[in-house]
Amino acid sequence: MSQEITETAELGDKIVKVLKTIFDPEIPVDIYELGLIYDVFVNEDADVKILMTLTTPNCPVAETLPREVEEKVKSLDQVKDAEVEITFDPPWSQDLMSEEAKLELGML
């Protein structure tokens, strides 16, 4: 495996760790376990693009949550820039939650 692929994979892991520190204010589970993160792209220049959704289109944190995600990901030393794109396709549902999140919320 090349050095670049290893570094990108390590950076991906660090990004996931950061995402797990961000919580939906209405649900006591982090946004990663909630299934709000659809994809994370890292290019060779260490620019990060995150495709995410919100629990509802009129979510009260629609303005602040994407900005928090961008700022926390940008705070990683290896990340040059970060951009969050919000999508509602497919719409978020409880099926996207991890087993851990469902357990924490008493859904299992």
Find out whether 45 and 83 touch, Cβ atoms under 8 Å: no
Q: Is the pTM of this model over 0.85?
A: yes
Q: Is residue 107 part of a domain?
A: no
CATH number of the structural domain spanning residue 84: 3.30.300.130
Helix (H) or strand (E) holding 83: strand 81-86
pLDDT in tens, the chain (108 residues): 567 777 778 899 999 999 999 998 888 899 999 999 999 999 989 999 999 999 888 888 888 999 999 999 999 999 999 999 999 999 999 999 999 999 989 998
Domains of the chain: total: 1
C-alpha span between 61 and 105 (Å, rounded)? 20
Sheet of 81-86, strand order: 37-42, 47-52, 81-86
Structural domain that includes position 74: 3-92
Angle among Cα 5, 71, 69 to the nearest 5 degrees reads: 75
